[in-house]
Amino acid sequence: MDHIEPKSKGGADELSNFQALCFTCNSQKNNRDQTDFRGMGAKYDQRDSSCIFCNLKKETLHENLLAFVIPDEFPVSEGHSIIIPKRHCSEYFDLAQPEVNAVHSLIIKRQEELKKSDQSIQGFNIGMNCGEVAGQTVMHCHIHLIPRRHGDVPKPRGGIRNVIPGKGDY
């Protein structure tokens, strides 16, 4: 528990002046700042009314507080899934650390589920397109989890390097 306005600087010992912080944050904050972290959670509710992922009406495969998983509508392999943060942001680099943790946990959960249900899966590609020049067409951060099987392409060497023709052979 932490005082938003430190007691040594006149902060009251009352509920409106308390916030919960982890031990490390609390000890590092000390009396040096009066940052109020209580409103931090509100930023995760940001949505865009014109965004397909913000307004998705289909059932999710998995979900946590900050992200969800759906099947890709145009799969490149069976089981191709998309992990999507709930907050509207355009790309992976805009995610806050709790969102990175949330999407990562869903990637792991979906990967384990797919491997358990389909013994032909031998590997995965995980990818995201950040910006139009990288091929992003839906401007809401999303991460592709693509199951790979032996023989699904003639020459898999180079993996994601093959997004630019000729760069996969090195």
Listed range (7-11, 84-88, 132-136, 155-159) with the worst mean pLDDT? 7-11
Q: How many domains is the chain partitioned into structurally?
A: 2
Q: Has residue 168 been placed in a domain?
A: no
Domain limits for position 9: 2-38
Same structural domain, 125 and 148: yes
Q: Has residue 169 been placed in a domain?
A: no
> Which is it for strands 67-71 and 62-63: parallel, antiparallel or unpaired?
antiparallel
- Each residue's pLDDT tens digit, 106-135: 999 999 999 999 999 999 999 999 999 999
SS3 41: helix
162 vs 40, higher pLDDT: 162
- Each residue's pLDDT tens digit, 3-16: 677 777 777 777 66
CATH code of residue 118: 3.30.428.10
Burial zone of 75 (CB within 10 Å; 0-12 exposed, 13-18 middle, 19+ buried): middle
Compute CA distances 87 → 96, 109, 164, whole Å: 10, 20, 30
H/E stretch holding 24 reads helix 23-29
Closest CA to 151 of 114, 128, 126, 123: 123
Same structural domain, 146 and 121: yes
The residue type of 37 is F
Give the whole-angstrom CA distance, residue 52 versus residue 146.
Answer: 21
- Each residue's pLDDT tens digit, 38-72: 676 788 899 999 999 999 988 999 999 999 999 99
Q: Has residue 145 been placed in a domain?
A: yes
Same structural domain, 61 and 30: no
